[in-house]
Chain A
Amino acid sequence: MLHISTLHYLVLGAALFLLGVIGVLTRRNVVIVLMSIELILNAVNLNLVAFSRYWQGIHGPTALHGQVFAIFVITDAAAEAAVGLGILIAFFRNKETVNIDEVNLLKW
């Protein structure tokens, strides 16, 4: 039976990360771009937790630094989503679009 090693998680994380990158680079809808950023953050989290488990294997079960980091990342993601969506609403109110190509002014 194939055992799932850390590498498998890393590959999964990498794939998610790539999907996120593609989303950020190619989509025009700001909401979806923000969601892609969430995807990237999740990919990072996955790596962190996987490494944390790897680390646990070496340093014993209390070595949970990766998980702590993952929690920080989730916190950060929440903050980022709130501010990002706030900006989006302000932007939408002014320009009535969510198209990222239109975000080309420093002030209005």
Chain B
Amino acid sequence: MIIGGILVITRKNAVHSAMALITTLLAQAGIYLMLYAPFVAGVQIILYAGGIMVLFLFVIMLISIERNMKERQFNKQWLVGIAAAAALGGLFIAVYTKGKSLFPEGRLNFDEAQNTQGVAALLYDQHQGMYMFSFEIASLLLLVAIIGAVVMAKKRI
């Protein structure tokens, strides 16, 4: 997964990057399964790997990339960028070493079959569902995104 991530940001060819990202995403779906989150895993496969990545590949193919490949791949602030990232990494390491004792070791086993229903209950149920409103907002967001994307990409409106 990490290898996939590294490949994503280092490949010259955008298609190769996309393939690496797909690998990463699928690996992540596997990790979700390990975390007893099969519904999220399924959504991950359908939406990310099946939907978003196809979109990416589409765009990569629409815009010709041959010329870009000959150009410099990294921008001028690459040193600064890596330094910033390293600083962030240092922060993470510090936090995790400090907080290591907070997390319990050991495995928890749950009934997988309840997962989807549980997620759905949180989203839709009248009594426990606390995310109903957010869900509607998300659908609105998607609508806005559709309109935005169409407006942006259309040649003549």
Contacts and interface: CB of A to CB of B under 8 A. Distances in A.
State yes or no: do A and B touch (Cβ within 8 Å): yes
Interface size class of A (residues with CB under 8 A): 35 or more
B42 to A, nearest CB: 10
Contacts of A78: 47, 51-52, 142, 145
Interface string B113-127: 011001101110000
Given A26-B75, A31-B60, A81 B21 contact: no
Interface string A23-62: 1111111011011101100100110011011101100011
B155 A93 contact: yes
A61 to B, nearest CB: 5
Contacts of B72: 28
Interface of B: 1-2, 5-6, 8-9, 11, 14, 17-18, 21, 24-25, 28, 31-32, 34-37, 39-40, 43-44, 47-48, 51-52, 55-56, 59-60, 62-63, 65, 68, 71-78, 80-82, 84-85, 88-89, 92, 96, 100, 103-108, 110-111, 114-115, 118-119, 121-123, 128, 131, 134-135, 138, 141-142, 144-146, 148-153, 155
Interface of B is mostly: helix
A86 B150 contact: yes
B40 A70 contact: yes
Contacts, number: 239
A14 B84 CA distance: 14
B61 to A, nearest CB: 11
A62 B142 CA distance: 27
B5 A61 contact: no
A67 B40 contact: yes
Contacts of A9: 31, 35
A71 B119 contact: yes
A22 B9 contact: yes
Contacts of B153: 85-86, 89-90
A14 B48 CA distance: 20
